[in-house]
Structure 1
Amino acid sequence: MTVVGPFVKRRPPRFWVVVLAAVFALLQLANVSGRDTPDTKNYLSYALSLRGANKHEAAAATIDYACAGRASVARRDQSVDVVHFREPSPARRVVEECRRDQWGWVSKRLSAGQTAGHTVPFIPPRFMRIFEARPGYPVLLVPFITVLGVKWGLWTSSVLITVAGGVLAFLVLRTLRAPTVAALTGQALFYVLPCGTTAIRPTTEGLLLTLTLAALWGCALALEGRTRAATALVGGSLSALFAVKHSQALFLGLCLAGACAVLGVRRGGLRQPLRRLARPLREVGVVAACGVAVTLLAAKVLGYPSESESLQDLLTAHFSRPDRSRPWSDFLHLEVNFWVEWLRRELWQPFFPTALLAGAWGALRQRPDFGVFLVAGALTGVLNQAGHPDINIYGDRLIVLAWVLPVVGLPLLLEQVVRPRVRGLDTVPGPPRRDAGPNTAMDAGTGAGLDAGVAR
């Protein structure tokens, strides 16, 4: 297999996948610290507790990491400040102030007996319960921080999670028989678009993106007739999402089940739409629907915070104010205001909506059946944002899952431009699988087969 150009040696696709991943990882050395969000402290202290640290030890290590990050950012900002760039570094002062502030809150809460659970009490008890219900990311962190320490353990885990997301974008596109150049473009887009910028932060969004792409890979395999692999990926992704953030497992299960229903209606009408689907797609729909049911039941049995509790968290600024007496009315009012303001800001700089529309067009035009699944996966980001209509939340990380639409859709849109320029890049396209059902993406003339070494 080759890449376009007479001066480029013949290399298998996996070589370029590794090159892109390695380049991305090396670039992340530019910012090893200072990427943490307010939530990072909760996840890190949870992981340290799982490793065996007591509350004081976990608090000390977490505060040191967070304050070192603040100092790093302050030092870099001051070095380019047009007025203060010649002054001494503020790092020491920032660390001292940060430690004094953080220890003041933690010591007060520990002295008051707030020692339950795994998370160090940086936040009120009701807010802590939300993080206590998300063990997946802290469990993943444990081996990294044990072997590499807090700073490099968090950096390494974040890089690997983000690299995995890019590789999954490549695998999704190759499973859809896109040219290797298009699939590599999808991997690169994952790294350079805001999804990569967000995934690299030491918090849950990277895992949410990666697991959502894994589920979408399962949907692509279902369209190829590979039932066992498809259901394993979708079911496994939903299970892992439940441990990372159970509301996201609920959203993804609902959206994938809805996508299967839409495909069934398209193929056979409104009566019993799932029966109109090929067996792999039908089973994906069943797995997704079961995932929704299991998520709701397990959250109830485990006593996870309810939607009303999450609503009060939002409307009381993380329980720092009295509960609202009419939370749903206030929420709906805020919801309308949020989306009006969000749309105004996006139209001011319309890159995101343009990328979404172009991605949806590429996916639905080139691979209509998979396009329905891709739009469903992106919709989970919109649902996540709709559940937290706070315009001031750290960046756009709540809606970041919507970026999977341009990551996969844009390379498909460019496919017709790329394919005629490619020579010897892909294997000869094979006939569609008999059990895959009618699907434009699987037509014999639409693309190349998977590279066996990468796809498997």
Structure 2
Amino acid sequence: MSDVHTAPTTARTAGRPRRPRAALPLLVCVVYAVLQLAAGPQWTLFPDSYRYARAAEQYLGASREEAHRTALAAYCTSRARREAHVARLAPTNRTSAHALESAAERTCWEHWADARDITTADPRYQAIFANRPGYPLLAAPFVGAFGVLDGMRLLGLLTAVGGSLLVFGLLRRGAGLSRTAALTGQVVFLVCPLGWWSDQALSEGLFTVCTLGALWGGLVLLRRRSLPTAAAVTALAYGAGAVTRYSSVLVLAAFVAAAATGALCLSPRLRHRGTAVLAGVSAAAAASVAVAMKALALPSSQVTLQDTFTHHFRLPEVSDPWGDLLGLAGRFWRDWTAQQAGLPYFLALTALAVWALSRYGGGLGWLAGAAALSGAFVVTDHPLVQEADRLGVLMWTPVILGLPLAVDRHWAWHPARKPEPRPAR
């Protein structure tokens, strides 16, 4: 008799905590948004942000001149706030923040008001951005509704928290990890450079979302679940990435295709149709981007290398950009290694993540490695110290996907969880 009455009560009690737990990922997003809004002038527009804002204004119907002036006004306001904030921290400063900000904004406006672009109007440089419409198209409705600064800041917040929710879903639904482990991945995403750059008024956030979508679809394929849907999601993510940054999606798709091919050859557990589909979809995406670049005469690495070695085409072109790149990349990676050795938190986190991925990944390690290598390749192709953190941000992918695996196996509580066989590496 007591068993009859206890069972429904137990079921109701067991079900009660589920709602708050289900809201935890959203609570993490809210806390992150509050922290970012409290950051004040730490968030600012970059020169590339100005070009994306200008393109968004043009998509909304403004003329080239009107769009330039609107985007420039937002850029100068943003940079002036940052400069005034930094100047106010100087112990010798006696000028008010308002006066500092007004002077900095006026100087910026006077310097660039008559220019066609705040970097260079060279058509080769402009073509690099003109053929990447994804982010400004996404930004256009936000800019139209809230203005450049507020609209792009709101978009950055949504992109960052959206990326974090994708990480949570990938780990929870795709990899089957515990809620605690998935939340760990979400938080690590938001506090590492992946979250920071996703929050900025740049295309990195949108491309990161596309990358996570491709990895989620790829993981489902590697685990032989819903093959047609997973293949479609992967292809769609590649397509969205291509209109955002076609050269980067070419590299990512090529590395994922290579990783899937390696898994087919080296891992008996992953030698199945889903892995072959992932290799095929990724190879087709890389080939399609390469053909489109050739057919549409899109700027290639040759153009971006000349941009690098001529300081945005202000200096004469170099005769052997690939040879110069080899030397510069060698010097860059030596300096990068020295910096990491001096403050090795990234190396330590990556080592722990790689260990977890290799031991418990079940296919996730192949995808995380492909994303990390694509980030390293992009940095090698553009070995600029001041831009390396942004260009190589995908090198953090193993950390956000590997650390939750370690948490899942060693620190997370699993009620009545049965032991699972060790997955293939």
The TM-score with structure 1 as length reference comes to: 0.84
Match of 2:49 among 26, 29, 40: 40
- Give unpaired runs (5+ residues) of structure 2: 1-13
Percent of residue pairs bearing the same amino acid type = 29
Q: Taking structure 1 as reference, are residues 216 and 12 closer, same or farther at Cα in structure 2, changes over 3 Å only?
A: farther
Map 1:355-370 → 2, pairs under 5 A: 355-370=349-364
CA contact (8 A) 1:78 1:85 kept: no
AA of the residue aligned to 2:211: T
Deviation for aligned residue 1:198: 1.2
The letter of the residue matching 1:374 is A
Give the structure 2 partner of residue 257 of structure 1.
257
TM-score computed with the length of structure 2 as normaliser: 0.90
Other-structure match for 1:301: 295
With over 3 angstroms needed to count, the CA separation of the structure-2 counterparts of 1:431 and 1:347, relative to structure 1, is closer
Equivalent residue runs for 1:315-334 within 5 Å: 315-334=309-328
Structure 2 equivalent of residue 177 of structure 1 = 176
- 2:166 aligns to what? 168
The equivalent residue for 2:153 is 155
Change (3 A) 1:179 1:54: same
Q: Residue 378 of structure 2 aligns with which residue?
A: 384
Moved over 6 A (4+): 428-432
Give, as a single letter, the amino acid of the residue that structure 1 aligns with 2:191.
V
Q: Distance in 2 between matches of 1:430 and 1:340?
A: 44
Match of 2:78 in 1: 69
**Cα displacement (A) at 1:429:** 7.0
- Cα distance per residue 1:227-255 (max 9 Å; x no partner): 12221221111111110011111111111
Q: CA RMSD in A?
A: 2.4
For the Cα contact (< 8 Å) 2:139–2:151, is it kept in 1? Answer: yes
Aligned residue for 2:313, secondary structure, equals coil
Tell me the secondary structure at the aligned position of residue 90 of structure 2.
Answer: coil
Change (3 A) 1:298 1:13: farther
Aligned equivalents of 2:423, 2:235: Cα separation in 1: 23
Distance 1:190 1:322 in 2: 41
- Whichever residue aligns with residue 256 of structure 1, its letter is V
- Alignment of 1:234 with 2:219, yes or no, is no
Equivalent residues in 2 for 1:119-158, closer than 5 Å: 122-158=120-156
Q: Which whole-Å CA distance do the structure 2 matches of 1:326 and 1:422 have between them?
A: 58
Alignment equivalent of 1:20, drawn from 25, 28, 32 = 28
Per the TM alignment, residue 80 of structure 1 is displaced from its structure 2 partner at its CA by 2.1
User: Do the aligned partners of residues 135 and 397 (structure 1) sit closer, same or farther apart at CA in structure 2, a change above 3 Å counting?
Assistant: same
Question: How far, CA to CA, are the matches of 1:292 and 1:202 in structure 2?
Answer: 27
Question: What SS class does the counterpart of residue 82 from structure 1 fall into?
Answer: coil
How many angstroms does 1:390 deviate by? 1.2
Q: Is residue 92 from structure 1 mapped to residue 102 from structure 2 by the alignment?
A: yes
Aligned to 1:51: 60
CA distance in 2, matches of 1:233, 1:439: 24
Q: What's the CA shift for 1:214?
A: 1.0
Distance 1:318 1:423 in 2: 58
- Which has the higher relative contact order, 1 or 2, with Cα contacts under 8 A spaced 6 or more apart? 1
Q: Deviations over 1:280-334 (max 9, x none)?
A: 2211111000001100011111110122112111111111100001222111111
CA distance in 2, matches of 1:15, 1:199: 22
Which protein has the bigger helix share?
Answer: 2
Paired with 1:429 and 1:142, the residues of 2 have a C-alpha distance of 50
Task: Give the paired residue count.
Answer: 407
Structure 1 residue 439, shift from structure 2 partner: 4.4
- Mark the runs of 5 or more structure 1 residues left unpaired by the alignment: 1-5, 110-119, 270-275, 433-437, 442-456
| Residue pair 1:208, 1:241 contacting (<8 A) in 2 also | yes
The one-letter code of the counterpart of 1:177 is G
Are the counterparts in 1 of residues 238 and 249 from structure 2 also a CA contact under 8 Å?
Answer: yes
CA displacement at 1:79 relative to structure 2: 2.6
